[in-house]
């Protein structure tokens, strides 16, 4: 199982891609970007880099994405990002716009 763990800062994006085997995880790739203005563009670039480097053949191989938030209302721990979770994060986007962007 491949898990992408992302850290979105106010102007940065860092990530590690882990291969999980039930006994733990192994970092198979890592990268980052500074002075980010367009997070969607750098995420697309990171996925393209993972493909061009032969780490993945398709983004569909990544089965889960993990990231932390600043404010998530009553959310804590690991949750599946369904619509109610997205709505909760959107509700705090004005308070923490760098970490909970709309």
Output the tens digit of pLDDT for each of the chain's 102 residues.
Answer: 999 999 888 789 999 999 998 888 899 999 999 999 998 999 999 999 999 999 999 999 999 988 877 766 677 777 887 888 888 878 877 777 766 665
Cα–Cα distances (Å) from 37 to 40, 85, 89, in that order, read 9, 25, 20
pTM confidence score: 0.77
Strand partners, 19: 2, 26
pLDDT (0 to 100) of residue 63: 93
**3-state DSSP: the chain helix, strand, coil percent, rounded to 5?**
25, 30, 45
Question: What does the DSSP 8-state code read for residue 11?
Answer: S
**Which domains, and CATH codes, for the chain?**
2-68 (3.30.420.40), 69-102 (no CATH)
pLDDT (0 to 100) of residue 98: 66
pLDDT (0 to 100) of residue 67: 80
């Amino acid at each position: 199982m491949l898990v992408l763990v992302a850290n979105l800062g106010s102007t940065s994006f860092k990530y590690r891609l882990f291969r999980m085997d039930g006994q733990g995880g192994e970092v198979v790739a890592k990268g980052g970007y500074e002075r980010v203005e367009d997070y969607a563009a750098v995420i697309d670039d990171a996925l393209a880099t993972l493909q061009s480097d032969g780490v993945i053949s398709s983004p569909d191989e990544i089965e889960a994405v993990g990231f932390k938030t600043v404010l998530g209302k009553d959310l804590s721990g690991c949750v599946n990002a369904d619509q109610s979770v997205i709505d909760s994060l959107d509700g705090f986007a004005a308070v923490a716009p760098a970490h909970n962007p709309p």
